[in-house]
Amino acid sequence: MIKKRILITGGAGFIGSHVVREFVNKYPEYQIVNLDALTYAGNLENLKDIEDKSNYTFVKADITNAKHIVEVFREYQPDGVIHLAAESHVDRSISDPLAFVMTNVIGTVNLLSAAHDIWKDNYEGKRFHHVSTDEVYGTLGETGLFTENTAYDPHSPYSASKASSDHFVRAYQDTYGLPIVVTNCSNNYGPNHFPEKLIPLCIHNILNGKPLPIYGDGKFTRDWLYVVDHAKAIDLVFHQGQIGDSYNVGGFNEWQNIDLVKELCKQMDEKLGKPTGTSVQLITFVKDRPGHDLRYAIDATKINKELGYEPSVTFEQGLSKTIDWFLNNQDWLDNVTSGGYQKYYEIQYQG
Ligand code: NAD
Ligand code: TYD
């Protein structure tokens, strides 16, 4: 007997695959529909372990295609939506901002409209959970934390597109009464992370003896959360969050990029049986990212106090698990770094 049908968008991507796994395994009474366009960042290999489960279905669809999205909603009649599909890499947003407007803004509005279309006569038991980022808040100086009340001040085309999508989500609640919740999470890391992002890129480069490119002076600060802990927070907010509310998700875990990469080098040397100090020699300072936000840091008090949320691992533990996963899944890394990745890498890191 199916208790709920939940449509998860972007479920073949990094975070989405962990959310799909969490829901498929934890809720056998739910039907989980993973809707994904399988862009360069989407990979069904991420879900090999659960793809044959009877409560899991995959649908290939592009959220920018309004007509197709309405058809999918009418066919599957979801009670809940957890929306993660997005263009997610800041550097790509600098070279191709329009792709971010299309997927992150127009795609989100298409999903909101499709949900409104099938739910409008009865919102009882329905919920649209929009997964967003702390980057919408812009940058902090040396001190302070982002709270749910911090004004939006995005700087990159990526964060501007996510901020815009967050505004549309709230507009659908205010205008049509659509039952929404929003989570704004800090930087994630963990298994299946696409190696265009700092941590998996450095793991890949250490394995291949290539330079570790650090933008600017490396003093930029990010707040890192293990991806499985983000999936657990989404589960909690999806089920127990107040309709209409936002929840910041993070682990009070700030690292300057240079210190983080040094810690990664230390752990990689140990795990690869190399003398300490080997990988750190690969660190190379390269030209800075335009509009680079200095510091992100999340105040996760609300989700902790209201919903009892706490991350399950420390950063050192999460990083160790992450490195182990990459060392045990080098085929995955080889597959995603062949083809188009090489071209992207050449253009992004030229000169
Ligand atoms: P990702 O790039 O790894 O995955 C995105 C997924 O969306 C891929 O499977 C891709 O195929 C799919 N997708 C892209 N365009 C699509 C389209 N037009 N139609 C349907 N599917 C499409 O991203 P991620 O890092 O897993 O991020 C997931 C979500 O979480 C995003 O909304 C992102 O903004 C948000 N977020 C990410 C982080 C982070 O650190 N990665 C932190 C906070 C919030
Ligand atoms: P990234 O993983 O791209 O996440 P985001 O930009 O969403 O925070 O980058 C994390 C930090 O690492 C950010 O300050 C930019 C920096 N960075 C580098 O120094 N070198 C790199 O090659 C990359 C990809 C990122």
Annotated catalytic residues are 134-135, 158
Percent of all residues in the chain with a pLDDT value above 70, rounded to a whole number = 100
pLDDT category at 29 given cuts 50, 70, 90 is very high
Provide φ and ψ at 136, rounded to 5°. Answer: -65, -25
pLDDT category at 171 given cuts 50, 70, 90 is very high
pLDDT at 339: 84
Ligand 2 pocket test target in 257, 282, 287 with most atoms within 8 Å of CB: 257
pLDDT at 1: 80
pLDDT at 2: 86
Q: Is 27 in the pocket of ligand 2 (CB under 6 A)?
A: no
Ligand 2 pocket test target in 15, 198, 345 with most atoms within 8 Å of CB: 198
pLDDT at 351: 58
What integer is the mean pLDDT of 156-166?
A: 98
Contacts with 241 (C-beta within 8 Å, 6 or more apart), sequence order? 129, 181, 183, 247, 307
Note the pTM of the prediction, 2 decimals.
0.98
Q: Is 198 in the pocket of ligand 2 (CB under 6 A)?
A: yes
Question: Rounded distance, CA 76 to CA 197, Å?
Answer: 34
Tokens of 206: 């250490």
Q: Is 158 in the pocket of ligand 2 (CB under 6 A)?
A: no
Q: Give pLDDT tens digits for 174-233.
A: 999 999 999 999 999 999 999 999 999 999 999 999 999 999 999 999 999 999 999 999
User: Can you tell me which atom of ligand 2 is nearest the CA of 348?
Assistant: 22
SS3 track for the chain: CCCEEEEEECCCCHHHHHHHHHHHHHCCCEEEEEEECCCCCCCHHHHCCCCCCCCEEEEECCCCCHHHHHHHHHHHCCCEEEECCCCCCHHHHHHCHHHHHHHHHHHHHHHHHHHHHHHCCCCCCCEEEEEEEHHHHCCCCCCCCECCCCCCCCCCHHHHHHHHHHHHHHHHHHHHCCCEEEEEECEEECCCCCCCCHHHHHHHHHHCCCCEEEECCCCCEEEEEEHHHHHHHHHHHHHHCCCCCEEEECCCCEEEHHHHHHHHHHHHHHHHCCCCCCHHHHEEEECCCCCCCCECCECCHHHHHHHCCCCCCCHHHHHHHHHHHHHHCHHHHHHHCCCHHHHHHHHHCCC
What integer is the mean pLDDT of 3-28?
A: 98
Tally of CB atoms within 10 A around 52: 7
Q: Give pLDDT tens digits for 301-338.
A: 999 999 999 999 999 999 999 999 999 999 999 999 99
* Residue 40 alpha carbon to ligand 1 centre in Å: 11
Contacts with 285 (C-beta within 8 Å, 6 or more apart), sequence order? 214, 216, 217, 218
**Which domains are seen in the chain, by residue range?**
4-189+223-249 (3.40.50.720), 198-221+256-291+314-341 (3.90.25.10)
What integer is the mean pLDDT of 11-35?
A: 98
Torsion of CA 41, 193, 31, 182, to 10 degrees: -90
Q: Give pLDDT tens digits for 61-117.
A: 999 999 999 999 999 999 999 999 999 999 999 999 999 999 999 999 999 999 999
Percent of all residues in the chain with a pLDDT value above 90, rounded to a whole number = 98
- 102, exposed or middle or buried, with CB in 10 Å at 0-12, 13-18, 19+? middle
Ligand 1 pocket test target in 21, 33, 39 with most atoms within 8 Å of CB: 39
**Nearest-ligand number for the alpha carbon of 45:** 1
Tokens of 221: 């600060």
**Cα–Cα separations (whole angstroms), residue 36 to 13, 23, 182, 242:** 8, 16, 20, 27
pLDDT at 350: 83
Q: Is the dihedral of CA 178, 248, 34, 232 positive or negative?
A: negative
Question: Rounded distance, CA 197 to CA 213, Å?
Answer: 11
**Cα–Cα separations (whole angstroms), residue 225 to 110, 161, 290, 322:** 29, 22, 25, 12
Mean pLDDT of the chain, nearest integer:
97
What integer is the mean pLDDT of 119-124?
A: 96
User: Can you tell me which atom of ligand 2 is nearest the CA of 91?
Assistant: 3
